[in-house]
Every structure is written in C-alpha cells, then in structure tokens.
Amino acid sequence: MSILRRFKATDLFRFNNINLDFLTETYNISFYLSYLARWPDLFCLQESPNGTLMGYFMGKAEGRGKDWHGHVTAITVAPEYRRLGLADGMMQLLENVSEKTYDGYFVDLFVRVSNTVAIGMYKKFGYSVFRRVIGYYSSGDEEEDAFDMHKPLPRDVNRESVNENGENTFVKPEDL
Amino acid sequence: MCLKEEFAPYMLLPKEIFSLLELQSIDSQNYKGALSQITKLQKKQPHALILKSLKALVLERSGKSQEALVLCNEVKACKPADEAILQALTTVYRSLGKHEEIVQLYESAARSQPKNEVLASHMFMAMVRNDDYKGQQQAALKLHKTFKTNRYLFWAIMSLILQAQEASPPQSNIFLTLAERMMIKAVEDNRLEETEEVHLYLSILLSQNKVKEALGVIDGQLGQRCKDDTEITRIRQDLLLKSENWTLLRETSKKELTETNADDWKSYLAYFEAVFHLSNSDDLTESLNKMSLNDVSDFLNSLKEKELRSSNPRRGPFLAELEYNRNLAAQRKDTSLEASNSLIIGYFQRFGSKACCFEDLLPYLCNISGDVSKDLVDKFQATIEESSDDEKSKIQNIQKWVNIHKLKRYLGHITASTDTEFIQYTNKLWHSYQDSLQYGVSLVETENQFGDDFVILASHTLIDAYIQKGKYFFIIKAILLLESAFQRSKHNFQLQLLLIRLYQIIGVHLRALEIYKSMDIKHIQLDTLSHFIVTRSSSLGFYKEAVQLCYDTLPIYRSNDLETPEMIVHAYKYGTYTKVNEFIEFKKALRNSLQRLLSNRESIRLEIIAACLSTKRIAEYFDEIDISNLLFDQKFCETRQDNRDFKVMANYNPVDKASIEELIRSSPKLDTYWLKVFTLVPLILKKIYDNQTPDEVKDLANILDQIITQPETLSLTEEEKKLGQFVSKLGFIYVAIKESLAEKEGTSLSVSTVISELLLTLEAFYTQVISEVIIVEFSWQHFNRLSLFLEGSSYIVIVIGVIYKLIGTKSKKSGCRELHQAVKSLVIFLKEKLISIKSHLNILKDKAKPAELLAGLLPTITSGSSLDFCSQEENAPFIRQILHRISKSWTIRMYTFGTG
C-alpha cells in the first residue's frame, strides 16, 4: 500500500532511509535536478501511508529513430519495504509513460551480470537480454559486464528491440 | 570533463588564439602558461576585450578572484555584446556569486542588439539566476513580443506566479488575475501544447482556490490531452474531494483502484470519504446514490480476490479493509470489536512476514486498551506456524517474531524494571538473533542478516535500562551486541547509526568517526546527516579531524549556489514549470540551512582553540576572520531551515514516549539559541581583539548574558552556559579597563569586581572538572566539561593578550598598577588551574590504560546478572578487543587535552 507520485526536489532531504542502503548510490544535486527538469514524469516515488519514502525510480527518454526508448537509470526500494511488489508498480508506471507520453519503441536498463536476483525480477517483468556490455561497471581494478535488457513496447510491432541471442552478443561500452 | 565546459568561451575564439590556448592550458590546466600566452597576445592587441575577459577567467580559476573581478568590471564597462566575451565574464561572475553583474551585462548587450534572440534569452536567464521575478517577467514579455514564440509567454506567466508568491494580498491577487487572464487568452489562441503548460494553468487556478474552474480545465479539451499524466489524475481526485462531488469521487477512485493500481492508498482514502458522505446524506436525490455499506465490502473483497490470485499478493485491499473498519467504528456504524480484531489478526497472519507489517498495523493498534492489545499480540503469535521445516518459512517466521517484538515494545508490553528483567529480555532477543544466523550463511556481504532487528531491539532494551537505572555498563553491553552483529552485516546502517551515538555517549570518538566515515555520507546527505558527527565535535577533543569534518560539509552549499540556479534555468528551457517552484524552494532550503551555520560555528570554535597554541596564530586568525556573516538577529534565526534528518533512525517506542534517537543524544539538540551563543562568542572576541569601543562590546556581552540566563535555552549544556558567562564577563572586563583607562566619568564597572566575578565562575567550573571523574566511567559529559573549560581558558588567554597591550601603552598613568595587579591575579589563577588539570589528566590517562580499564570494567560486564553474550567464553577475545579500542580512544583524548 503506497502513494505513487512524482519525485519532488525537496524529497532529497528525506530519502536517507532509501539511500543509506549500501547498493543505492547518492549523486550530486545536478544529477537529480537535471532529470527532474527534463523528465519530471519519469522520476517518481512510493510513499507509505505514514509519509515515509519507500522507494523511487528515475528514468529518461533517449535515442534516435527506432532506437527512441525509455531508459531506467535507477530503481531502488528501502530495505524494510522490499518484497511488497513496489518495484513492479514503479516499472509499470515507467513503461506506461514511455509508451503513452514519449511514444517509445522499448524500455531498457543495465544490470550487473552477477546480480541474478535483479535479472530474475526483470525477466519476470518481461525484459530480456539484448546484449552484454563488456566492462561496463568499473571501480578501481575491478570490472564487471552489464546486461543491457530490453522490453519492447507496442510501437515496436516487429519486436526489433528484442535479441534472442542477447547473452552472447558482446559490445564494448564505447560502441553503445 | 568539467574543464571543457568551464572553458567553453574558448571555443568561440578566433582559431589562432584558440589553438594556442588549447595546447597551453586547457589540457594541462596550466594557468600560468595560459596567462603568459594572453600577455603575449595583449602586446599586439592591448585593448582586445576578449583577451581581458579570458585573463579574468584564468585568474579566477587560479584563485585570484579580486584581480579577476577588477578586470571583468573593466570589460563590462565597455558594454560588450560579443558572445565569447559575455560567456567568459558570465563564468567568472557566476562563480563569484555576482548575479547582479550578469544581469547588467546582458541588459546592455541586449539593448545594443534588440533583434538578437540569444542575447535576449540570456538576459532572461540571468534574471532567473538572480531571483529577479519582476525583471524576468519583463524580459519574457519582451522576448514574446519580439520573437513570438509561445514558450516566452509561459515564461512570463510563470514569472507572474512567482511574484504573486512573494507578495501578500491584495497585490498577490493582482498578479494571479493577470496570469489567469494571459492564460485564458493563450488557450483561446491555441497556444497550449504540453502537459506542463496545463499544470501551469492549474497552478494559477489552484492558488486562487478556483476549484470549479480547475475541474473544468481537466475535464475539458485540455485535460483530454494529458489524460495519461498520473499527476493530473491525482489533482482531479483532490478537486473532487474539495468540491464535495461525492458521487463522482466515489466512481473515479473505484475506477482507479480497479483499473490502474489496487495498491493506491490515496484512492482508498478518497473512496471511503465519498462513501461515508453519501451514506450520511439526507438529501433525497443523493440517497439514490447511497450505497449500502455491504457494497463496499463486496468491492474490497473483489480486489482482495484478485490479489490472492497473484503469487505475491499486494497489501492494498487488505490494509484498506482495516482502514474502512476503523472508519466504521469511528462513525459507530455496525462493527464489532471482535470483527475488527479478527481482521487485524488476519492481516498479521498474511503479511506478518513483511518488515513493514509493524508500521502497517500501528494506526489500528494505538487506540486500544493494554489488555486487548496484549490479547491481540498473543493471537498474532498463535498464527505463527513453527512446525514447517522448509527454510523459506523459517525465514518468514524470523520476520514475524521481529514484528511481534516491535509491536510489544510499541504497545508498552515490555515492563522490565529490574536489572535482571532487562537482561533476561535482552538475552531472549539475542538468542533469537543467534538462531536466525543459520539461515543467513549464504547471504552476500552487501546483505543484512535476517535477524538484525533482534539486536537492534536488544540494544533498545539496554538503552531503556541505561535511562531508567543510570547504569553506565548497559551502554557498553549494547555496544558489544551491536558490534557483534555489525561484523556479520557490514552495511546495516541502523547498526552503524546506533553505534555512532552510543560511542559518543561514552566519549569514544575514534570508533564513532571510523563508522561514520565508512558510511560514505556525501552530497545532499552532508546537510541532512552530518549532524551525527559534527554536532559539538569540539567536545570530544579530536580537533584536527573535527575541523576537517566541518569543512567537508561545505561543498554541498557551494554546489547549491552554483548548480541549482542552472537547474532552474533548465526547467524554463525544457518548459517544466512544475519544477521551477520546487527548485527555488530546494535552493532556499539549502541556502538557509541551519546545519550549515551549526557546522560553521563549530569550525570557528575549533579554529580558535587551535590558534591558541601561539600568539602568532591568534593574531593571524583574528586578523583574517570575516565577521560580516556572523549574524544572530531574531529574523535571521527564524528564517533558518532545519534539514537535519533525525527520523532515519529506527524507532519502535510508544508514540507518547521519547524516541530512541532522542534518548541517545549525548547532549541536547542544537537550535538557534545555541547558534546565537556561538555566534556571539567569536563576535565579542573579535571586537575585543580589534580594540573596538566599549559600548559595542558591552551591548554584545549583555545580549549573550541574557541568552544564557533565559530558562528556555534547553539546547545549551550547563558547561556551554558557563562558557557563555566567561565570554560575557571577559567582555565586561574589557569594557571596564577601557573605561578606566579613558578615565571616563561615572563608569559603571570596576575592573577588580568583574575580574573577581570571573575568578569565582572559573573556580566553580574548575572544581566540577576536577572532582567528578574517579571511576572508570568516562563519558561524553566528562570530556565536554574538560573541553569547555579549556576552551574558556583559551578565550581568557586571548583577551589577556589584548589587555596587556592596552595597559602597556598607557602604563605611565596612575591606577595602572592596580589594573596590572588585577589582571595578574587572573593570569596566576588560570596558570595554577591549568597545571593542576594537566596532572589530573595524567592520572586519568593511567586509569584509561587497557590493563586498568579491563580490570575495572570486565568484571561488571561479565559477572552477576550478565548478558549471556558476555559470559560465553568464545566471546571473551572479542569483548577484550572492543574494550581495548575504547581504552585507546580515551587515552588519546587525555593526551590531546593534556597538551592542548
């Protein structure tokens, strides 16, 4: 049970219960505000009945021609609100906006190849691996590949944004 | 990456200059090289404005702001209109916060080229950055008139709304009426194309409370265009509620719940509101709309059934059922306690394995009597099936038990009052935690153990014991349990926050600091969370790190000044009008942040204490300190905004009791009283240092004196009040000496009287510092006392330095001998006390040594009615390790105090 609404700039003052989670990155002001300024309908949050922030997603619309699509930049839920289906609701909204407001061909996202829990969840939501990006995540000496996962929207009538052999299609980050 | 952007003006340069500069400076950040290139070119073209502005840019980058500013103003006076020059100057001005200059710059440029759209829109943006709403409006109207683009019209309307918000009625109404009229005209001319423009229209209507008109817009042609925008749906729901259109509200919320989102809390609330209004209505026509309350149950049941068909049913309709039942009870409609209790039990049975079940149930449990709630929790327990052997249900049961314990705590069922009872309950929680560990063996490092909350609750129990019994070792025990859990859940921030606070209570800064640093607090969190470590950091005496921590918070405020105005500009560029207001609000919140000032005042204290190591450093510090920002007037204080996040710390205490966060503050929460005191302290010292007139110092000392004697200054510790007294008395001493030297008639203060007053205060403070610490129970309190005594002594040293200078210059005059003697007595007294404190610290240092400490603490921790954790042999090395760490931190502290 929650209120799903647009993210406000001042919500940044009270999102700590979500962002103190180790795997949720905190970015600089410009990062959040530039998303809000450009895609206000693709940056939303879930709020609990007592007013605590539960989770949020941020996304954008990008690409040219048939590559025009919605992109999930971040999606996160605070530890105490996991396994409630919140991510499900947020992804649905993002896909809905990508389809109806931005008229995109598909929605995509990047995920660490080791993050099997998340990959499983996205597959359940209808995403499939489109390609594997070599060394997309790098910190220090450690590098990790990313799966670029796609979910076609109705506009992609011929399902051109889906790649049956995605897990074996390798690309370098600079060729994205 | 940033460099290229900063040097964007280069890109607009003639090729030859560009390539020279690019090679020399952009890639290598070689400012010196760039400067010499520019100087060379200037020899050929001494009057080239572009070269001057580039020079200003490079100077600003290399930290020479003043020189840069002089050059910029020189160029600006020539009224340039060249894009490259304007950009270079804008970059410098912006970085120095001179938004007014940018406005003037573009104003004159736009005037010289009225047909240049880029310049005109730059001028608008300059006004935006400068928060000049009226200027914005005029600039936007001019843009619209000249270039006809729709966007400019909306810029003007937005600017009107902002002006309305700044003004008060009737002026504000005039702005809004005008904005509305412009909007209606824009609609007639078919100028509205985007959802954001419709939002803009709605915001004008809503700020005038024109509910009917706003609904008309949403339900009309314009609304059709943005029917996919969830925000519009939300606004419509609010409007239907406001206009009391219950039938329609009922239908739309029902539709929303069935078709879009069965988890939408707001729609449930709206739906219930509508249903109850309709059923209470006496109106005959509406009575046709009356639906029997059975229909509500049917509707909720249908939603429930739908959820139950899914593999992971959402809570929405189930929680809504509880809410509906509560409403029924409130309206005394047919509902029995039994029925509502069985719903609550059913909810627990179904969702008890979710962490948020505790939070979900609170509203429905808080108003029932103790006996009933006890009975309920017993029934919750009975629903837990322990027989199943599969791992998944075992893990679910862990969470259920965690919820049970949280509820018991919240409902006041934990009634321990003796040491043994507290320990027994803690042991119970600890054993549950230990049992849970077997299911988390394969969890990855980034995940928390399933039973961590048991340990959190155990620590809360020990905190209760500490508060009730005042026994120090309960805190140590809580630390031991939390540290043990922290080893297995390395990123559990609730454990981290608790540990930071508890270590502070026992005066152990080293570990608190280490944990804080590991949390990677950054960006906006520097404003909301830094209070956990920066608050009164001087009291724990780790001066060097503490001052660095204060300075580390500054970048967020700088980013706000530089980045947020740009983002407001972005919002205009992309026509995202809903965000303009939000960003302005955000900018103000950070700019007026209370925490920003609290960190700043703390850093000033720390700097002065550090400077007292030598007269040269005192001189340097007081010559440099800028007091123009040391404001403390009432209006200034009232407009500060408190963005500190205290709620992030988990709390399961009863609603009428203080929260855990409040209970484990090592000292009272800082507020504007504290701010005033620690603004006045450096202000008075600086005025004395600068040899200002007695009247000026007297005024400030009187204000300080008033604040610390007010009863409502609960945010100040006793020691801080004493420190305030020191400083105000120092002010009076200064005044008395000045007046006596001037041989002013009718001087009110006698030097020897004020000095002896100070001596008395000093003596009393000293006795406290020296007398209390005998046993091995160091705490924040002790360090705070020590630290503030030393801080006060530092201030006395500073003022004595000034006084000696004063007397020295006029030593021939009669009466000076008397003055000398009075001051000397103060010096001798202070010296004595400091020497004796030093030897006192040496004794303490020995007591804090590991061997002594273990001998003192270990028996209390491990013997008698102790925690099972502590008496288990295998934990002994771990406990010793933690106590060693505590000892190390304490001894380091004694050392820095002793040498400080």
**Among A10, A34, A52, beta carbon nearest to B567:** A34
* pLDDT tens-place string over residues B173-215: 999 999 999 999 999 999 999 999 999 999 999 999 999 999 9
Residue B430 structure tokens: 């600890």
Supply the ipTM of this predicted assembly: 0.95
CB A13 within 8 A of CB B589: yes
Question: Among B883, B855, B885, B777, which residue's Cα sits nearest to residue B466?
Answer: B777
| pLDDT tens sequence across B419-459 | 999 999 999 999 999 999 999 999 988 899 999 999 999 99
Cβ pair A77, B355 in contact under 8 A: no
C-alpha span between B347 and B362 (Å, rounded): 12
The residue among A10, A26, A33, A57 with the most chain B CBs within 10 A of its CB, best to mutate, is A33
In this complex, do A29 and B571 lie within 8 Å of one another by their Cβ atoms?
A: no
Over 80: is that where the pLDDT of B42 sits?
yes
Question: Which residues, in sequence order, are bridge partners of residue A57?
Answer: A44, A75
B512 with B759: CB under 8 angstroms?
no
Query: Which residues of chain A lie closer than 8 angstroms to B648, CB-CB?
Result: 16-17, 20
Cβ contact (<8 Å) for A1 and B265? yes
Q: What is the pLDDT of residue B26?
A: 45
Which residue in the block uniquely carries the two structure tokens 């504000």?
B172
Nearest residue on chain A to B194, judged by CA atoms? A101
Contacts of B222 (CB under 8 A, 6+ apart): B187, B192, B198, B201
pLDDT of residue A95: 97
Q: How would residue B57 be classed by pLDDT, with cut points 50, 70 and 90?
A: confident
Say yes or no to pLDDT of B680 above 50.
yes
Phi, psi (degrees; rounded to nearest 5) at B226: -120, 40
Per residue in B125-153, pLDDT tens?
A: 999 999 999 999 999 999 999 999 999 99
Lowest-pLDDT choice from B161-170, B366-375, B586-595, B700-709: B366-375
State the Cα–Cα distance between residues B490 and B492, nearest whole angstrom: 6
- Asked whether residue B95 carries a pLDDT value surpassing 60, the answer given is yes
CA-nearest residue of chain B to A18?
B648
User: Are A80 and B359 a contacting pair at CB < 8 A?
Assistant: yes
Out of B261, B320, B576, the one facing A40 most closely (by C-beta) is B576
CA distance A135 to A145: 5
pLDDT tens-digit readout, B576-593: 999 999 999 999 999 999
Evaluate whether A64 touches A56 at the Cβ level (below 8 Å): no
Average per-residue pLDDT for chain B: 89
Asked if residues A59 and A94 have their Cβ atoms less than 8 Å apart, the reply is yes
Contact B589 A89 (CB under 8 A): no
Mutate to test the interface with A, among B579, B585, B647 (most CBs of A within 10 A): B579
Residue that has been written with the tokens 């510092």 in this structure: B769
According to the model, what pLDDT value does residue B858 have? 81
In whole angstroms, what is the distance from residue B354 CA to residue B403 CA?
Answer: 9
CA distance A61 to chain B (A): 14
Interface test with A, best of B5, B193, B230 (most A CBs within 10 A): B230
Residue B725 near residue B709, CB atoms below 8 Å:
no
Give me A21's structure tokens: 């989670």
Q: How confident is the model at residue B27 (pLDDT cuts 50, 70, 90)?
A: very low
Instruction: Give the mean model confidence (pLDDT) for residues B696-719.
Output: 92
Residue of B nearest to A79 (CA): B355
pLDDT > 80? residue B1:
no
Q: What chain B residue is nearest to A50 in terms of C-alpha separation?
A: B359
Residue of A nearest to B360 (CA): A49
Report the amino acid identity of residue B312: N
List, in sequence order, the alpha helices (H) in B384-472. Answer: 391-410, 419-437, 452-469
Q: At what angle do helices B195-207 and B171-188 cross, to 10 degrees?
A: 140
* A82-106 pLDDT, tens digit each: 989 899 999 999 999 999 999 999 9
Contact A41 B564 (CB under 8 A): no
Helix (H, G, I), strand (E, B) or coil at A55: strand
Instruction: Name the phi and psi angles at A55, rounded to 5.
Output: 180, 165
Using alpha carbons only, what angle is made at residue B412 by residues B411 and B413, rounded to the nearest 5 degrees? Answer: 95
Residue A5 to residue B645, Cβ atoms within 8 A = no
State the pLDDT at residue B842. 85
Q: pLDDT class for B772, splitting at 50, 70, 90?
A: low
Token pair, residue A171, equals 């690309």
Within 10 angstroms of residue B260's Cβ, the number of other Cβ atoms is 17
- Rounded average pLDDT over B356-383: 91
Is the pLDDT at B356 greater than 80? The verdict is yes
- A chain contacts of residue B585, beta-carbon cutoff 8 Å: 9-10
Chain A residues in contact with B312 by the CB 8 A cut-off are 83, 85
Q: Do A89 and B563 touch (CB under 8 A)?
A: no
Q: Would you say the pTM of this structure is higher than 0.90?
A: yes
What SS3 state is found at A43? strand
Which tokens hold the place of B766?
A: 């000293």
Decide: B583 and A47 in contact? Cβ < 8 Å: no
Q: How far is CA A1 from the centre of its chain?
A: 21
What is the spatial distance between Cα B162 and Cα B155, in angstroms, rounded to a whole number?
A: 11
The SS3 assignment for A111 reads strand
> Is there a contact between A27 and B523 if contact means CB atoms under 8 Å apart?
yes
- Tell which of A5, A80, A153 to mutate to test the B interface (max B CBs under 10 Å): A80
Q: What's the DSSP call for residue B319?
A: H
Look at the block and give the residue holding tokens 């771990």.
Answer: B878
pLDDT at B431: 97
Residue B809 has pLDDT above 60, yes or no: no
Query: How would you class B606 by CB atoms within 10 Å of its CB: exposed for 0-12, middle for 13-18, buried for 19 or more?
Result: buried
Distance from A77 to chain B by nearest Cα, in Å?
12
pLDDT(B2) > 60: no
Q: What residues contact B732, with CB distance under 8 A and at least 6 apart? A: B698, B701, B749, B754
Tens digit of each residue's pLDDT (9 = 90 or more) over B406-415: 999 999 999 8
Under the banding of pLDDT at 50, 70 and 90, the label for residue B773 is low
DSSP state letter for A67: G
Q: What is the predicted pLDDT for the residue at B396? A: 95
Q: Give the model's confidence band at B812: pLDDT under 50 very low, under 70 low, under 90 confident, else very high.
A: low
pLDDT digits (tens, 9 = 90+) for B317-351: 999 999 999 888 887 666 677 888 899 999 999 99
Check: CB of residue A122 under 8 Å from CB of residue A95: no
Quote the pLDDT of residue B337. Answer: 77
pLDDT score for B13:
52
The pLDDT score that the predictor gives to residue B10 is 46
Separation CA B230–CA A100 (nearest Å): 12
pLDDT at B839: 86
Please report, as a single letter, which amino acid is at residue B841: L
Contact A29 B564 (CB under 8 A): yes
pLDDT bucket at B291, cuts 50 / 70 / 90: low
Residues of A in contact with B529 (CB under 8 A): 16
| B111: pLDDT strictly greater than 60 | yes
Name the residue facing A1 among B234, B263, B560 (closest C-beta).
B263
| Residue in B230, B261, B354 nearest the CB of A84 | B354
User: In terms of pLDDT, which residue wins out, B9 or A99?
Assistant: A99
